[in-house]
Structure 1
Amino acid sequence: MYYSKGNYESLARPEKPQGVERKSAYLIGSGLASLAAAAFLVRDGQMDGKRVHILEKDSLAGGACDGYEYDNTGFVIRGGREVDNRYECLWDLFHSIPSLETEGASVLDEFYWLNKHDPNSSLTRATVNCGEDAHTDGKFALSTKGMQEIMALFFTPDEALYNKRISQVFSDEVLNSNFWLYWRTMFAFENWHSALEMKLYIKRFIHHIGGMPDFTAVRFTKLNQYESMILPLVKYLEAHDVQFHYGTKVENIIFDTKTDKKAATRIDIIRDGLEDHIDLTENDLVFITNGGCVENSSIGNQNTPAPFNYEIKKGGGWDLWRKIAAQDPSFGHPDKFCCDAEQSNWMSATVTTLDDRIPPYIQKICKRDPFSGKVVTGGIVTAKDSNWLLSWTFNRQPHFRNQPKDQLVGWIYALFTDKPGNFVKKAMRDCTGKEICMEWLYHMGVPESQIEELAEHSANTVPCMMPYITAFFMPREAGDRPDVIPAGSVNFAFLGQFAETTRDTIFTIEYSLRTSMESVYTLLDIDRGVPEVWGSTYDVRDLLNAASKMSDGKKITQMELDPKQKAVLGEVLKKISGTDIEKLLREYQLI
């Protein structure tokens, strides 16, 4: 496997890998990483779909990328995905997946046209005082010291950040700024999360820093992520005869690691309630999604809280990884991530409006008609003074294909599930859907006398607790996640958010796609380049633009510098006078 950039590699169709007709593949789980790996096996590996087996314990594919209407409960979306136009592996695949909405178009075509005609942006990023605009006004509000802390992190070697927390590298100069408000609510970072992941995120998305305050940096699908991305991918795989084995729980995978080669030799399963196993040869490829960010998640309903199920359950993704990791040190350390659910949980809630009484409050804040079919909030709106640090969003409506035209489906989430609310004096984790809706309506500016009645009769709200949703942000070091292809592996790979690959960042659908592509291309020796991570972190133009945006337009000479720094800056500006460097600095409004 090798990396490439440019369309010479990306447009090439690879030759059929040698011996692929004798190989089979088993994919553990049916999340996006597994589905993508199956698609790469079929499209680029040219493997017969009948020899590709997806083993899924539930009755539906998609993993964390969900979007369902549950009987007697309502619409549920556990999370949402902000999509980057520079997700190279994602778009490499989805330009081949036919759209289910637009005849003759791919998923990429549909997505591209949609976001060209209806570009994303937010008109209100944050509120205070029950729905008043917080007037963050696109400003990061970073002091010179705060910007220096961010720059220092950017240049710190990964090794120096192993097992460190964000609070160890940032002071209140950063943590009390608008920058941190935008960042932690957009990406779900907590102060105690990994400083290394923080650094990797800054480097990965440096080209989008200027679009963070108003979400012009991101794009969204037409419908929920399940119907817009997962379902077309499943239909593509089914059309190529890929075998889906629902109701099949993988209990363990047995490896032979006694020689210089490592091989998966058996998959232990429970199928239809009965114990069984699949014997493997080196021609049987195994793709393992280890761990799971939505493992142990639970939903409540309008009148019942979602239980906080933090104990690792037998037969789940964490339990499986523990069994695998016990067989070889190179298979990672799952307990580094799933050891403390208090530091990795947050909650979401799906709210469906049932009549015309709540939508005007949404429209007042987002400044758009939510029934227009176009961008509504353009991303999350954060209640800046919320004890829960509550955020909410309504994407383009309808959000579900079968959603009634007079209803809106939106999403609420909060980072602090153990704090009492401002209106509902209870921790979010103890609240029913109705109570979560009441807290949201309070921050929307609904008169207090009307809040309970509207929450009960004008909305249906479904809470969801996810104990391990940010487990991958826990402080870590090299080796805690297994390599996509561990050294010596002949027939297995690790996929998804808890596998290790270079330069890309977790908690993105691109990371799932990248690990899938790398694993398939390596195990089948496919002669086609895996697209490099977008190189903005090495592009001086993107770096200068980010510096300008983060300083809120301040010139270098306007920054708070000590006399020695000012003297050095003066000498530098003299030396670059009349050069292309001066032109670049002027172009990006730094001087």
Structure 2
Amino acid sequence: MTRRDPKQTNAYLVGGGIASLTAAVHLYYDAGVPATQIHIIEAAPVPGGSMGQSSGTDDDTWKSGYVILAARKLNFSYRCLFDTLAKVPSMRNPGLTVLDDVRGIIDEDDDLVEVRAADANADAAADATADAARAARRRTRTNHNIDHNIAPYSSHDDDRKSASSFPARLVASGPDGPEIVDVQKMGLRSEEKLGLLGLILEQEDCIGDGQIQTHFKPEFFESKFWDVWASLYGFQPWHSAVEFRRYLLRFLHEFSHISTLEGIDHAPLNDYECIIQPLGQHLKSLGVDFQSDQRAETQVCEVKFAPGDKVHVSELRIKRRADATDSAIVIGDADIVLITLGTMTASMRFGTDSKPPPPLPSQEAVNADPGPVWRFWASLADPNKNPHHAEFGRPKHFYGHISKSSWLSFTITLAGTATSVFDHLREWAGFESPERPEKPDRAEKAGPGHAASISGDSSSDKDSFSNSNGPLITFRDSPWMMSITMPHQPYFTGQPDDVCVLWGYGLYPDQEGLFVQKPMMACTGAEIFSELLAYLNIPAPQLWQGSGSDPMATTGSVTTIPCLMPFIGAPFLTRTDGDRPRILPKSSDNLGLLGQFVEMERDVTFTMEYSARSAQTAVYSLMGLDKKAPEVHRGDRDVQVLGKMLMTIMS
């Protein structure tokens, strides 16, 4: 595509999620489009899309319970995302970048900031070791004059050992309480090993729209490998075999430590505060035009195309709910339009500690009105409304199966003496901070309920491990396939010292619990927490017992907020060629499509990286830049990675 003159280009970004924010960063820094000519049109009052702000950040938010929609995983191989975050200054740490924040560099050592700032211009010797080279790259990133052309982290960072290494990955219910399952050996049968290898070697066009369960017998879905892999990435047996294969290939480098989660990290704060907020504020400070927060619920309701064979957007019809006005944006010849398609978090249903979430709508009701985001995409794919409809995929394929795309997440806010369950669970699970020595007397099969005391005068030890990741624990006997994770504390700005936050999810919310004996989606927050305590063999009253003269004095509290999400698993649904549109529709000269529902080679959906890659690709292509998004990490080209993968499968 011919290079555009950035000074003459206005860019209109429909949707304010991570894809549009990423596109805006690259339009400004890589393409040179003036910030005032970048327009982000978002219906929500704040940017972020599926990563939007879900909880307040004042000192009293904990009283009603925090809400975490997802604790997204980070991986060294997220080259597009990391390349983007390396261009944005940190809000919290002057002289550093958002990439430094999310990688936890600032948390390693407070003195490190001064060292890196003083040594910002130091050069690594050409023959330095890999560790020294990585340190040199980090020093470059901490330069007060941020180098916006810095290359993403090297693929050789797969040698990095994260602090996130835990023995408790799968937990089973034993006769004396919870027992840690040995997942050092996957225990796959010979035919299952061959099945995995065969699927990896298969071509996508031969797999078609098949489900994972068409490639394996039912016994495979009872294996430790499936429990670990499915709970980590969110797969269900009826999901796309093509996407499952892509994940196997994309994360080959994770096979050797999927049992310990080494190398998989999370941001030190919640995703909104650590990623979305600094991206949004930096873009605003540059002068990017956000048509959202001050003009709440600004929605693009129609896209008009110029006559002819080319896909050329000529006009955007805008509806502003705040003042009930309609208007039109005329798209100039030099302008571009970037549209984020679909949503994973539309129609979320929140419950409370005492009420379950509202029930799922019927599929008939969803088909009749899937909501504004899906309806907008459907209009683009409607032959009666768009002469180029064939280039826009089949959105109903993704919103038309809510029984297969619904999950339930929950956030537990523990206050006062109730935080003792957080402390004890992390210790029992094998969590120790890098500075904290391993305790030799920890019995592997002694669950939290077997501790001498988990309440009352139990001291909180959060400070000693607040800067490290917590484990992901999956209860393999749970009909809900319940998993919990214990993120960095504090996880929210304004979170009090005596408050801890847990986050969890169930992949089968329509199933009855083992102890509550109700479908997860019909449970109150308190009932979900009760189910969790039962798996851990912790008597609930202990959490509220005080240490004073009154043994039943209430000195702690627990609030659990469930969230039922009808479309969260939609990106994983089976698909065939044409269900997901290309980033650049055929014959497009000013339109790019972004997000989780566009088609790209090799990379995997349901990640921030996928959205970032779609944005980077669209910007470079439409602006005619002599650049390409960084190549998807290819572990299949590394003999060591392949060897470790085979050892894991064969174990």
TM-score w.r.t. length of structure 2: 0.78
Distance 2:312 2:371 in 1: 22
Distance 1:134 1:501 in 2: 39
Contact 1:67 1:76 in 2 (8 A): no
Q: Which residue of 2 aligns with 1:265?
A: 314
- Asked if residue 139 in structure 1 is aligned to residue 195 in structure 2, the reply is no
- Asked if residue 472 in structure 1 is aligned to residue 576 in structure 2, the reply is no
Distance 1:492 1:18 in 2: 13
Mark the CA change 1:102 to 1:394 in structure 2 (over 3 Å): closer, same or farther.
same
Tell me the alpha carbon deviations over residues 340-360 of structure 1, each in whole angstroms, 9 at most, x when there is no partner: 101001000111101223334
- Asked if residue 493 in structure 1 is aligned to residue 554 in structure 2, the reply is no
Distance 2:355 2:237 in 1: 30
Distance 2:195 2:462 in 1: 40
- Which of 389, 408, 416 aligns to 2:500? It is 408
Q: Where do 5+ consecutive residues of structure 1 fail to align? A: 2-15, 553-591
Structure 2 matches for 1:367-446, cutoff 5 A?
367-368=430-431, 369-374=461-466, 378-446=470-538
- Which of 299, 312, 327 aligns to 1:250? It is 299
**DSSP-derived class of the 2:277 partner:** helix
Mark the CA change 1:259 to 1:319 in structure 2 (over 3 Å): closer, same or farther.
same
- Which of 618, 622, 630 aligns to 1:519? It is 618
- Asked if residue 82 in structure 1 is aligned to residue 73 in structure 2, the reply is yes
Range moving further from structure 2, 322-331 or 437-446: 437-446
**Aligned-pair CA distance for 1:257:** 6.7
**Aligned-pair CA distance for 1:537:** 2.0
Name the amino acid aligned to 1:101.
R
Distance 2:263 2:185 in 1: 15
Q: Which residue of 2 aligns with 1:47?
A: 33
Distance 2:237 2:543 in 1: 32
- Asked if residue 129 in structure 1 is aligned to residue 173 in structure 2, the reply is yes
Mark the CA change 1:73 to 1:323 in structure 2 (over 3 Å): closer, same or farther.
farther
**DSSP-derived class of the 2:327 partner:** strand
**DSSP-derived class of the 1:353 partner:** strand
Contact 2:88 2:282 in 1 (8 A): yes
Range moving further from structure 2, 346-355 or 370-379: 370-379
Tell me the alpha carbon deviations over residues 125-153 of structure 1, each in whole angstroms, 9 at most, x when there is no partner: 12122762332242212122211000010
Q: Which residue of 2 aligns with 1:535?
A: 634
- Asked if residue 64 in structure 1 is aligned to residue 44 in structure 2, the reply is no
Name the amino acid aligned to 1:142.
L
Tell me the alpha carbon deviations over residues 191-241 of structure 1, each in whole angstroms, 9 at most, x when there is no partner: 000001001111111111112111103111111111111111112101110
**Aligned-pair CA distance for 1:545:** 1.7
Distance 1:543 1:217 in 2: 17
- Which of 328, 337, 346 aligns to 1:286? It is 337
Name the amino acid aligned to 1:406.
D
Q: Which residue of 1 aligns with 2:353?
A: 302
Distance 2:254 2:532 in 1: 29
- Which of 332, 353, 357 aligns to 2:393? It is 332
**Aligned-pair CA distance for 1:258:** 4.8
- Which of 73, 89, 102 aligns to 1:111? It is 102
**Aligned-pair CA distance for 1:476:** 0.4
Mark the CA change 1:308 to 1:263 in structure 2 (over 3 Å): closer, same or farther.
farther
- Asked if residue 343 in structure 1 is aligned to residue 404 in structure 2, the reply is yes
**Aligned-pair CA distance for 1:276:** 2.5
Q: Which residue of 1 aligns with 2:426?
A: 363
Contact 1:353 1:408 in 2 (8 A): yes
Distance 1:115 1:176 in 2: 39
Contact 2:416 2:555 in 1 (8 A): no
Distance 1:180 1:386 in 2: 14
Q: Which residue of 1 aligns with 2:452?
A: none
Tell me the alpha carbon deviations over residues 58-82 of structure 1, each in whole angstroms, 9 at most, x when there is no partner: 1111122245324674311111211
**Aligned-pair CA distance for 1:407:** 0.8
Mark the CA change 1:20 to 1:373 in structure 2 (over 3 Å): closer, same or farther.
same
Tell me the alpha carbon deviations over residues 420-462 of structure 1, each in whole angstroms, 9 at most, x when there is no partner: 1122221111112122111122222212665899999621111
**Aligned-pair CA distance for 1:377:** 6.4
Using the aligned pairs only, state the percent identity. Answer: 31
Contact 1:248 1:269 in 2 (8 A): no
Q: CA RMSD in A?
A: 2.4
Q: Paired residues, what number?
A: 538
TM-score w.r.t. length of structure 1: 0.86
Structure 2 matches for 1:178-217, cutoff 5 A?
178-217=224-263
Range moving further from structure 2, 18-27 or 220-229: 18-27
Mark the CA change 1:450 to 1:405 in structure 2 (over 3 Å): closer, same or farther.
closer
Name the amino acid aligned to 2:608.
I
Distance 1:452 1:148 in 2: 51
Mark the CA change 1:114 to 1:345 in structure 2 (over 3 Å): closer, same or farther.
farther
Q: Which residue of 2 aligns with 1:233?
A: 279
- Which of 141, 144, 158 aligns to 2:204? It is 158
Contact 1:221 1:228 in 2 (8 A): yes
Mark the CA change 1:376 to 1:412 in structure 2 (over 3 Å): closer, same or farther.
farther
Distance 1:405 1:254 in 2: 49
**Aligned-pair CA distance for 1:57:** 0.9
Distance 2:14 2:4 in 1: 24
Range moving further from structure 2, 192-201 or 155-164: 155-164
Mark the CA change 1:467 to 1:270 in structure 2 (over 3 Å): closer, same or farther.
same
**DSSP-derived class of the 1:337 partner:** helix
Contact 1:81 1:220 in 2 (8 A): yes
**DSSP-derived class of the 2:491 partner:** coil
Tell me the alpha carbon deviations over residues 334-385 of structure 1, each in whole angstroms, 9 at most, x when there is no partner: 0111111010010001111012233344235323454434466634201111
**DSSP-derived class of the 1:469 partner:** coil
Tell me the alpha carbon deviations over residues 315-343 of structure 1, each in whole angstroms, 9 at most, x when there is no partner: 52111110111121110000111111010
Range moving further from structure 2, 284-293 or 454-463: 454-463
**DSSP-derived class of the 1:68 partner:** coil
**DSSP-derived class of the 1:149 partner:** helix
Name the amino acid aligned to 2:305.
D
- Which of 503, 512, 519 aligns to 2:602? It is 503
Contact 1:77 1:350 in 2 (8 A): yes
Contact 2:167 2:180 in 1 (8 A): no
